[in-house]
Structure 1
């Protein structure tokens, strides 16, 4: 499978919560499978993905053409299990 992309940005409490869940809740199980695109560090790539997938908020997980906007822990786990 291809890598999952995570869109994130500064001053985003939900982004921080998702990163914590991936790190502590899932013990970095998917660390090698997730490519993080940070808005302030790679604005062009970030905006390209935002426009392509009509994204309105962060954090977001993307796998090919499937987009997960609701990053509740249970939904993140199911999404990653399916797409990694």
Structure 2
């Protein structure tokens, strides 16, 4: 059985939307999904980021990936959409 979290958060430096999404996960959602999300940072983990980005056809950050289904959430600006996406896990 895999111990990988079901979700991946793709992020990178100098990305205001990435910071907004991280704040959303920490504050309104109170970290409720933290144990289910692996953060992959473009500059800090370039090989892992590129491999996953290529596999799932990622075109921009921030993005959330649901590993079991392969679905990507690119529209991460709304709390409702992010919460609904994370609740499928």
- Structure 1 portions without partners, runs of 5+: none
Tell me which of the two structures has the higher relative contact order, counting C-alpha pairs closer than 8 angstroms and 6 or more residues apart: 1
**CA shift at 1:55, angstroms?**
1.1
- TM-score, normalising length: structure 1: 0.92
**CA shift at 1:54, angstroms?**
1.2
> 43, 63, 74: which is aligned to 1:69?
74
Q: Which residue of 1 aligns with 2:20?
A: 17
Give RMSD over aligned pairs: 1.3
Residue 16 of structure 1 aligns to a residue in which SS?
helix
Alignment partner of 1:50 is 2:53: yes
- TM-score, normalising length: structure 2: 0.88
- Structure 2 portions without partners, runs of 5+: none
**CA shift at 1:50, angstroms?**
1.0
**Higher percent of residues as helix:** 1
